[in-house]
Chain A
């Protein structure tokens, strides 16, 4: 156990005075997250009522805003920005697999679309697994 125990977080003793809280940055990030969510919901609701922009445009906008929120949560609230660069990259490299998976499913989706253009009677939704 000794091998892994030599890293210790900063130790306190019970007699140390408690410093005043520094919570300004927490609430700042909270307002960012709330503002992004309000914009998202506002856009979705307005588009549901009035249809002023195509759903495709909104889709990419929403995904972008979601990634922005994810950035704030991971780097600020989970304190990843305080970790070492090497550790950030160690975690980040694993997620490259997702880029591959999304690409794969998009290619597969195009194939499914072509199948349906050639055979209009073949609807995935009619098969038992996807049935209505």
Chain B
């Protein structure tokens, strides 16, 4: 204890005015936001799993629902969502390359890789629009219902041709919630791209803002990895 008295004036990491985790508050709060967002997405996905399990006999096989591919006639299961996964992983790679360029204070590198990231984001959003279009419009044959209601084509919030009502509702909810995250991520990426191109971060002396939007963008990719598994693979 005598030793402790002698160091009473030395700064202690948790006594305030310091960053004990050696991380700036902006980046730390981004991490905490992402954890809370992860809990939201997890709740949705866990509820999806539980509902699916309770309706096992009626739940459609995802391979037979999502089997369209642009410019190709006929049905190819899994191909299009695999392409979407590849697009998002690729844009995650370009994002981490932008962060790496920011660490080296390389403005041209940051701008180049941020442009690729934004392109990847738009490609993904377009793919999702295509996916939703085919889900909503359904197949030509549709599903014949017996209650005199005729034939159901595609899906909406009230009825769908594939299976239980909850199947379409959860698809819209979860992929829509993820899509809105991708959209806001693209908006943030564009803002940071413009700021980087105008030299704001260069004058500031560091590119930490690229790291912060990078964290958000990787999180969006991470959520898609789980959505891909639970909606399309299983």
* Partner-B contacts on A (CB < 8 A): 3-4, 6-14, 16, 18-19, 21-23, 26-27, 30, 33-34, 37, 40-41, 44-45, 48, 55, 58-59, 62-63, 65-66, 69-70, 73-74, 77-79, 83-84, 86-87, 90-91, 94-95, 97-98, 101-102, 105, 108-109, 112-113, 124-125, 129-132
Contacts and interface: CB of A to CB of B under 8 A. Distances in A.
A78 B100 contact: no
Interface residues of B, number: 70
B165 interface: yes
Nearest to B95: A77
Contacts of B54: 109, 112-113, 124, 130
A77 B96 contact: yes
Given A73-B92, A74-B218, 18 more contacts: A7-B19, A9-B208, A16-B105, A26-B96, A45-B78, A63-B229, A73-B222, A77-B218, A78-B218, A87-B31, A98-B46, A105-B47, A109-B50, A112-B54, A113-B54, A129-B166, A130-B165, A132-B164
A3 B100 contact: no
A27 to B, nearest CB: 8
A63 B97 CA distance: 28
B126 interface: no
B148 interface: no
Interface stretch (B21-29, B116-124, B130-138, B181-189): B21-29
B234 interface: yes
24 contacts: A7-B22, A21-B109, A26-B96, A26-B97, A27-B93, A33-B89, A34-B86, A37-B86, A40-B233, A41-B82, A45-B77, A48-B77, A58-B233, A59-B234, A62-B229, A66-B229, A73-B218, A83-B22, A90-B21, A98-B42, A98-B46, A109-B53, A112-B54, A125-B58
Contacts of B219: 78
Given A14-B202, A69-B225, A87-B23, A26 B50 contact: no
- The dominant DSSP class at the B interface is helix
B104 interface: yes
Nearest to A2: B17
Given A95-B35, A98-B39, A130-B165, A105 B50 contact: yes
Contacts, number: 162
Interface in B8-50: 16-25, 28, 31-32, 35-36, 38-39, 42-43, 46-47, 49-50
Contacts of A59: 234
Contacts of A130: 51, 54-55, 164-166
Interface in B116-157: none
B215 interface: yes
Interface in B36-89: 36, 38-39, 42-43, 46-47, 49-51, 53-55, 58, 61, 63, 77-78, 82, 85-86, 89
B77 to A, nearest CB: 6
The winner among A12, A37, A108 for most chain B CB atoms within 10 A is: A12
A15 to B, nearest CB: 10
A105 B50 CA distance: 6
Interface string B195-209: 000000010011010
Contacts of B165: 129-132
B226 interface: yes
